[in-house]
Amino acid sequence: MKSYLLYLLISSFSLILVSCQQGNEIMDAQKKDLAYKAMDAFTHGDFNEFEGMCSSNYVEYELDTLKSKLRGLDATKESFIIFHKAFPNLDIKYHAVAVAGDTVFVYRTIKGVMTDSLMNIPPLNKEVSLSGIDAFLIKNNKIDAHWGFSNLADMDQFAPPKEMAKNVR
């Protein structure tokens, strides 16, 4: 009788552990899917789609607070407009995605031809690529916050051509 009760206890405990693990895997997959959709919306310049994925408490942490006084979705909308004016043909490649609790990390490279000025850099009319990591805080199946980090080594692509640099002083 004792061995039967011990068997039931161990079986029940194992079943609970497996169920919890499967539930977390499903929730992690949903969080990753939301992050992918958010990155795709940015890549295609679809702010309305992005906005629909965000909570009413959304905060954007990527922007330089010295240049923009906007916060939340207003700041993100401004970023969408400025970035897509400079890069109308963005493409994205995903390298890795990870979930830690409520946060999804996306390691990506964005490529596009810079056809308009960006941050006082004149149009380069050449393809540039920016690798980096985007972090999304997900709460209740909505994006609550975003942090974006770009690889500073990629910024040398934005140096003006030598003939242009001679005229800049």
Over the chain (169 residues), what is each successive 10-residue block's mean pLDDT? 50 43 67 94 92 94 64 84 89 92 93 88 88 93 91 74 57
Q: Select from 134, 140, 151, 147 the least CA-distant residue to 35.
A: 134
CA 54 to chain centre: 12
pLDDT at 25: 60
CA 38 to chain centre: 7
Going from N- to C-terminal start, the domains of the chain cover: 2-165
Rounded to whole angstroms, how far apart are CA atoms 139 and 143? 6
| Structure-block tokens of residue 90 | 């963005």
pLDDT at 7: 47
pLDDT at 11: 44
Q: Could you say which architecture CATH assigns to the domain 2-165?
A: Roll (3.10)
pLDDT at 163: 58
Q: Select from 59, 36, 129 the least CA-distant residue to 91.
A: 129
pLDDT at 64: 59
Cα–Cα separations (whole angstroms), residue 71 to 6, 41, 51, 65 = 57, 19, 14, 9
Start-to-end Cα distance in the chain: 90
pLDDT at 74: 87
pLDDT at 108: 93
pLDDT at 67: 58
Rounded to whole angstroms, how far apart are CA atoms 141 and 73? 17
pLDDT at 9: 43
Identify the DSSP state of 76.
Answer: H
